[in-house]
Homo-oligomer: A and B are copies of this chain.
């Protein structure tokens, strides 16, 4: 009875819930850019206030970069920790947005309502599905059904540098029976999904140095080494013509997934053609011999995320630049060790260097291994049933191409399992211009959390 009333309350209050979400979306909490530091801080304050309005004992907790928001409520039943992040990706190239990224609005798009703006899907909209589910629950029942700790991070998009130290320093306070993470999506439209394996990540960046200064390409073109040409050659050497990474030992600790899982994935509703079409693509450029889903979920990658050097303005400048720059991320699977791979990656680059070139590395970029969830825990089946009930479709355990290191940190620092449930869609354009979140995802997301809370308690 009580669950139905909570669900009805969520339906009734949808507009008010959306209004609250808009308030959070307007705050420009870009965590990677120091210019937005005050806005990140404001978003933390906003969340503290919002938690307090739910009767949660909430506070902003300073770190060396951006604050954490922590809240506690209740003292009976299982102890759940809910994690979300309130920081967002940069908006550049801002000229590709059809509207102000921080002036969110509801758009009617072929009869489907979507919320437009930076952070709508990643992750403010998702975070608020849980908050608003709690709000409805409290409105109906006066209190939540169990002890809940809220942990909201402001550094997720910048690699979470403070997260592990913060967990370590506050382990007793944060340790719960299970962590719930809402930063993932649905494998196909209308297919509720629990992520059971996530790829890890290794980030690295190097600068290739050549001549002592920028040179004139007439006066020095020919004899002088050109860092742009050299960095291109090095990048081209990272893959063979089968799409495999050529770094020594790269695949040593990859674990081939079993036929059982492959069979499950084949029927999970993931539409390969739609996935490719959604990015304007027709043909997989990935590792030969693996399906698109395997390439995305269970195979490692090396991607160049940024590359630059020389003149980028209008017209031409006859320069041979002194330096060239490259940002890299590798996605890791199985037992791949980011520290070991960092050494192998760097050695690969250094082995390619020609005379008069040197390389320097950014030593501030982190890595995290892949995560495999403990789906044997009974909560996973309970949550799966709750999601199936809400969406009228069997919920599925899926892999994920992305990296959510937080799941690994909960395990390694707090010895706490995590369950990842989220309602984002393939076409949400997260990290891109014109990001959106479906109003349906937000609405049914709130309802899903109410059902999961009910099922777990």
Contacts and interface: CB of A to CB of B under 8 A. Distances in A.
Interface hub of A210, A279, A296, A301 (most chain B Cβ within 10 A): A279
B217 A307 contact: no
A113 interface: no
Interface in A281-313: 281-287, 292, 295-296, 299, 301, 303-313
Contact of A286 (B222, B311, B317, B430): B222
A279 B309 contact: no
Copies in the complex: 2
A447 interface: no
Interface in A345-367: 354-356, 364-365
A402 B223 contact: no
Contacts of A431: 214-216, 317-319
A356 B283 contact: yes
Contact of A222 (B205, B301, B305): B301
Interface in A419-434: 429-433
A159 interface: yes
A312 B33 CA distance: 12
A281 B317 contact: no
Contacts of A239: 229
Given A221-B331, A232-B236, A285 B316 contact: no
Contacts of A233: 232, 235-236
A129 interface: no
A125 to B, nearest CB: 16
Interface string A396-415: 00001111000000000000
Given A223-B285, A296-B220, A89 B306 contact: no
A320 interface: yes
A451 interface: no
A276 interface: yes
Nearest to A299: B222
B316 A224 contact: no
A210 B237 CA distance: 20
B228 A279 contact: no
Interface stretch (A76-84, A248-256, A321-329): A321-329
A345 B11 CA distance: 61
Interface of A: 32-33, 89-90, 92, 158-159, 199, 201, 203, 205, 210-226, 228-229, 231-233, 235-239, 275-276, 279-287, 292, 295-296, 299, 301, 303-321, 324-325, 327, 329, 331, 354-356, 364-365, 400-403, 429-433
15 contacts: A159-B315, A205-B316, A214-B433, A217-B303, A218-B403, A222-B284, A224-B286, A225-B285, A229-B239, A231-B307, A236-B236, A236-B237, A306-B311, A315-B364, A318-B431
